[in-house]
Amino acid sequence: PGASSRLGPRLRRLHRVIGPAHRDAEGLPFARALLEGQASPRQIAALLRALLPVYTALESHCATLPPALRDAGIPWSDLARRQALQHDVVALAGLLDGDPALEPIDRLVDDILSDLARLASSAPERFLAHVFVRYGGDLSGGQQLAVRVGQVLRRAGLPDAHFWAFPSPVDDLKQRFHDGIEQLPLDGDAEAAFLDEAHAGFHLNQRLLRALADLDAPAALPLELLLRHDRPVPRYTSYPTAQSFHAGVDGNNLMAELARPSDEPMSLYVHLPFCHESCWFCGCNRITTQAGSKAVGPYLDTLERELDLLGAAMPAPRPIAQLHWGGGTPNYLNPSERQRLWQAIARRFPFSPDLEASIEVNPERLDRDAVQQLRQLGFNRISFGLQDVDPAVQAAVNRVVPVEQLRRAMAWMREAAFESINVDVICGLPLQTPGRFAATIDEVARLRPDRISLFSFAYLPRQLPLQRRLRPQDLPSRQQRLAMLEGAHRRLRSENYDAIGMDHFALADDPLAQAARNGQLHRNFQGYSTRPSLDLLGVGVSAISLFPALYTQNTRSLGSWRRSIETGRPAVDRGVRLDDPLLQLRRRVIQELMCRFAVNFDDLGVDGPQMFADAWPQLQAMADEGLLELGANSLKVSDRGRWLVRVIAAAFDPASGGTGRGSAVI
């Protein structure tokens, strides 16, 4: 409310109850579009069309309220919106004639009307809560919306909407409305019901806002076009990709890189490969064992020696700005082992004041004490694999975690006040169907993590023997996978998540979403990041290190890794050098595509069509299909082309070849 509106005790209680829901509603994509003057005329017309029967019902049911409630002082006649809405719906009807996309909105409106009729007759105090939510919102934000909506409609050559134009001065009308709400004769139970229903009313409003956002969502890519381009391509978390690594790079290259003087902060990745059970979809380097500390203790001994070996190569220890423990299952370690490893790192390298420390955990074997300890050690970001919540799917991939345990894990993480919680979900697992996967996405929405990683399952039984336990006949078809991905995108967008690339989502107010909107997104082996790429030092079996002109990877063999470190040699067994300026340019182009969906070759100081003459015919063909726009020396991926951004990036990657290597797009 504005400063001129005096709030009584009931209004203050109301605002405490509905405040979080109100803020959530304002953050929804369609609400943001309205407030920023970016909603489409079609969406505005659909909104007004949906509101007409709702306000008609509100105003007709008000006349049937008990006199004590009807005559408490609410200025009904000055609030009336029905005639204004009738005018607006008629004026904008041509935008919506016969549009089948309105059917979900119509069904929602029918539900609202049914609820209002029921409440008006059986629970009038709850009915009045909807009066407050609707008219209170109009009076508080209506003037700003009137300006923004007017701008949109005038740009389209359409008449202004009358809905937000009240006949009385808004500040005076708002105060009289608030006074009337204060004067409602509600006892303790009735007021509690009124407050509860106001909260429910805001969530009902959010459903309408989500449905309106979907109305003008970017058109889905035609199935035929998607299937035509659906081929194995790298995920491009780095370029060159790990498939380009070779044995011509070894530990001497890494030691020479570490010897370069630098006081710049770096990232440290620690690979902890142990798992109690093997998930049959997994492609990570892991060791499945029940040996516990008998396996972990010697591994930590070798890790400490590796930290000493690599640290000694540096002129001075470099501060760590990002720390990540991955696996495997890092929470396989017991509390004393986790503390030992954290302290081992802290003794050898200083931590930056703004350290970003993240860890991956398996929720199946997580408890409250473990979560609290991780936070107390210094981890401020945490990620867990949800993958799928359907029991049949979980059994098919040998990854069984009851939904109740997932909910407990999320509650513990919230209680521990982690700054960011990420959930991993996989699309394309055996026995998944669009219906089952929609239930998984519903559960993700209920858990409401800050970030979501949504991956397409890569079925590679020849390279990953564990996947041979999966039944290929149980895998969903490409058409089903596409339906699952499209449904997940729609659902998550409606829940106020921004799509970050095509495989990550973040709440609209999360720093990752803000970085994406500001063109400041970065990408590394862990996915998208808000921070510029730092030098990455990896320790542990199979760990990868990344430097501007050098990528290396430790051996995947536990025995070979241990023997190398024990003899004073880095455990690197392959990698790639990036001395070639063209290779560095390709890396920059692919990074720009994956993070910003656009490349301005002028900014890179090159003539794009000439430098990448081999790629330009492919790009032109994709432009003809509407996947991208080609400028004289620029490229911009279209909304529909984002589904295939990895295919577009592969045009700049000669190593991807004609059929490509990596995982399928869908």
Task: Compute the C-alpha angle 534/536/538, nearest 5°.
Answer: 165
Does 572 share its domain with 592? Answer: no
Does 593 share its domain with 565? Answer: no
Does 156 share its domain with 70? Answer: yes
Does 413 share its domain with 311? Answer: no
Is 321 in a helix, a strand, or coil? strand
Task: Compute the C-alpha angle 380/383/387, nearest 5°.
Answer: 170
Spell out the residues 6+ positions from residue 274 whose beta carbon is closer than 8 angstroms to its own: 286, 287, 288, 289, 295, 296, 299, 327, 328, 329, 332, 333
Q: What is the pLDDT of residue 491?
A: 87
- Residue 120: C-alpha distances to residues 176, 317, 643 (Å): 22, 70, 47
- Whichever domain contains 50, its CATH number is 1.20.910.10
Does 36 share its domain with 177? Answer: yes
Measured in whole angstroms, the distance separating CA 215 from the mean position of its chain's CA atoms is: 21
Q: Give which of 431, 416, 291 is closest to 361, Cα–Cα.
A: 416
Asked if residues 422 and 450 have their Cβ atoms less than 8 Å apart, the reply is yes
Residues 110-139 have pLDDT tens digits of: 999 999 999 999 999 999 999 999 998 888
Asked if residues 324 and 270 have their Cβ atoms less than 8 Å apart, the reply is yes
Asked if residues 129 and 201 have their Cβ atoms less than 8 Å apart, the reply is yes
Does 605 share its domain with 647? Answer: yes
Q: What is the pLDDT of residue 633?
A: 97
What is the Cα–Cα distance from 286 to 284, expressed in whole angstroms?
6
Count: domains in the chain: 4
β-pairing, 634-637 vs 628-630, is antiparallel
Does 434 share its domain with 505? Answer: yes
Mean pLDDT by 10-residue block, N- to C-terminus, for the chain (666 residues)? 63 84 71 80 91 95 92 91 94 79 87 94 94 89 85 86 88 92 92 90 83 66 75 87 93 98 96 95 90 95 98 98 95 97 98 97 96 98 96 96 97 97 97 95 96 92 92 92 88 83 83 84 82 93 96 97 98 96 96 93 97 96 92 90 90 73 65
What is the Cα–Cα distance from 348 to 308, expressed in whole angstroms?
8
What is the Cα–Cα distance from 55 to 192, expressed in whole angstroms?
24
How many other C-beta atoms are found inside a 10 Å radius of the C-beta of residue 8? Answer: 13
Q: Is residue 472 part of a domain?
A: yes
Q: What is the pLDDT of residue 98?
A: 67
Q: Give which of 369, 355, 361, 285 is closest to 544, Cα–Cα.
A: 285
Does 396 share its domain with 464? Answer: yes
- What's the burial of 585, exposed, middle or buried (CB within 10 Å: 0-12/13-18/19+)? middle
Residue 423 has phi, psi (to 5 degrees) of -125, 135
Does 284 share its domain with 407? Answer: no
- Whichever domain contains 604, its CATH number is 1.10.10.920
Is 501 in a helix, a strand, or coil? coil
Residues 40-69 have pLDDT tens digits of: 888 899 999 999 999 999 999 999 999 999
What is the Cα–Cα distance from 651 to 653, expressed in whole angstroms?
6
Range of the domain at 137: 9-215
Q: What is the pLDDT of residue 590?
A: 96
Residue 660 has phi, psi (to 5 degrees) of 80, 160
- Whichever domain contains 516, its CATH number is 3.30.750.200
